[in-house]
Amino acid sequence: QLGFSNCIEVTDLSIKEVAHNCPSLQQLNLNCCKDVSDASISIVPLTSPNLKELNLNSCGKITDVSISVVAKKCKGLRILDLTHCEQITNASISLMAKNCRDLQQLDLSYCDRITDSSMSLVANSCKGLQQLNLENCNLISDTPISVLAENSKLQCLNLNYCRKITDLSIRAVGLHCASLRFLRLDFCKQITDSSMIVVAHNCSSLEQLDLIYCEQITDLSISAFAQNCSALQQLNLENCKQISDMSISEIGEGCPNLKQLNLNWCNQVTDASIIVVAENCPNLQQLQLENCKEITDASIRLVAENCTHLQQLDLTCCKNITDNSISMVGKNCPGLQQLNLDWCKEITDISIDVVAENCISMQQLKLNYCRRITDDVIRKVAHNCKDMKALGLRETAVTIPEATTVEGFQTIRRYYRQLEIQSIKSEALKVVFMGTFLAGKTSLIQRLKEVYLEEPCAALPTEDDRTIGVVVTVLGGTFVVHDFGGQPEYYPWHKLFLTEGALYVQVVDLSDPVETCVKVLQEQLNILSASVCGAVVVLVGTKIDLLSESELQEKKKRVEASVEHWQTSTRQRLPGPVMTHRRSWQSHMQDAFYS
């Protein structure tokens, strides 16, 4: 037995050494060893013909060449995993069916070249097959599955995304596979109650049933499972929109061992059935109720009281949920690892504080669009929940820059530590002046100094007064002004200073030809939008005293049109452009702009 699972550094060279020196090898696990290829796997069967188990999951370089050698030489093979070996075709699997008749487990998920041809051979030859995974093998139809059901002793069958599968083959599975424990049919949209009722009546040992997006399924078949499959532990009914409280209540009463229940987007489900589940399924670990908009605190409080082993709770868009129930979840379910409260707008720091205090194993917390969540509680989450991997804070009152949240939770934790020592705290607004050489940025800043610092007006800069790179000025503790040099050679450096939370003043020299104004403006906006999403921009036109009133209005119209076109094409949201002399910003600054 030899295992190299997730050893991504393993190559053909080392596997060849194994092949030459381990003639008694019976189990070889190379899961995710992506550099292993036919060159080494073709040798293994030659030196280890007694191989019983071979795992090549996600070894994308493997083809029919090596699998054919395995099929010919290792006739006692019982377990074969070729998940995501997308170059595998019917050729090697047909050979496998003819030679490896003792095969018990076969995983061909995401081998999307496999068709009915090879699977029919497997069905007829490998009569001891117990586990078959054909997820995303979308060329498979009812024919081989029906034959397999009649000939084998199937216990686990995964046909997720096999969209050609219908009631015909699933009825055969129900009739002939009494020992079936796991059945996965996600996105098999042709499946109806007709076949599911047969499965429910004959497969009483069923432990997992996945019917995600099987939109024809109704309460009728789910009630049948509740009445006949008391061993059921996992039930996934996401987007089965015909499901209601009637069948879910029966599941709660009839399946006391239930551990996972996914009812996302089953919008007929209400508190009534979830209360029954909470009262009768104390071992519940995962509950998913996204977009079940009738769910309230009443049922979630009972879940918290009775299902204390809860590890995952999804209440996305359950807008009636408040701190009342989430506080109880935090208090009673200390093993909680995933909590999704996106769009639960009544949630505040109060309940999340309880969660942070007690659920220290939390790995994923989503609070997007919970606008009453603040830094105070997220600082506590960062301190207590050391295992956190994902934290959703979009559109909350939290001040963490988006660039920080993207970097991951450890970066968020460092951010709060830095805030505590006041290493990055600032009360001043960052104002960035952008524009080309001689547009008038520096002159505009000098006028601002006169207003805010009450200094005598310095002489306006001339063409020889060149801003080098970036000049930073603090105005009275209110503004930190960045004056960007307008020469193109400085543009790459400007990107280092483009950050969220700043005000950007885009200065345009209206004395230039309108084509130049438009070109320069769009170039500057492109630079900004590439670095800062949704930046706040004030557009200021200068040197209007050099224009007649008609010229000014024409240029203003053209520039405004170009900005609107840019906004549409780049889907940016900017304030309307400001193109006026002595009428911009606040009234006490009306003399700060020059012509």
In angstroms, the CA 7 to CA 107 distance is 21
How many CB atoms are closer than 10 A to CB 283? Answer: 13
Return the SS3 of 515.
helix
What are the DSSP calls for 124-166, one per residue? HH-TT--EEE-TT-TT--HHHHHHHHHHS--SEEE-TT-TT--
- Torsion angle defined by CA atoms of residues 58, 63, 67 and 72, in that order, rounded to the nearest 10 degrees: 180
Looking at residue 240, its pLDDT comes to: 98
pLDDT at res. 592: 31
- CATH 3.80.10.10 location in the chain: 1-114, 307-423
* The listed CATH number (3.40.50.720, 3.80.10.10, 3.40.640.10, 3.40.50.10860) that belongs to domain 307-423: 3.80.10.10
Residue ranges in the chain whose pLDDT is less than 70: 403, 421-427, 452-469, 476-477, 493, 570-595
Nearest alpha-carbon partner for 514 in 522, 525, 506, 526? 522
Check: CATH 3.30.450.40 for 1-114? no
Domain covering 425-568: architecture: 3-Layer(aba) Sandwich (3.40)
Is 119 in contact with 134 (CB distance < 8 Å)? yes
Q: Distance (Å, rounded) from C-alpha 495 to C-alpha 491?
A: 7
Distance CA 399, CA 38 (A): 53
Contact yes or no for 521/508 (Cβ under 8 A): yes
| CA atoms within 13 Å, Cβ hemisphere of 141 | 3
pLDDT digits (tens, 9 = 90+) for 266-318: 999 999 999 999 999 999 999 999 999 999 999 999 999 999 999 999 999 99
How many Cβ atoms sit within 10 Å of the Cβ of residue 390? 12
Tokens for 200, please give them. 């429910």
pLDDT of residue 585: 31
Strand partners, 268: 244
pTM: 0.74
Closest CA to 431 of 355, 507, 516: 507
End-to-end CA, the chain: 83
Q: Please report, for residues 270, 513, 515, the alpha-carbon distance to residue 578 in angstroms, rounded to integers and kept in the order given.
A: 52, 19, 18
Question: Which residue ranges does the chain devote to CATH 3.40.50.300?
Answer: 425-568
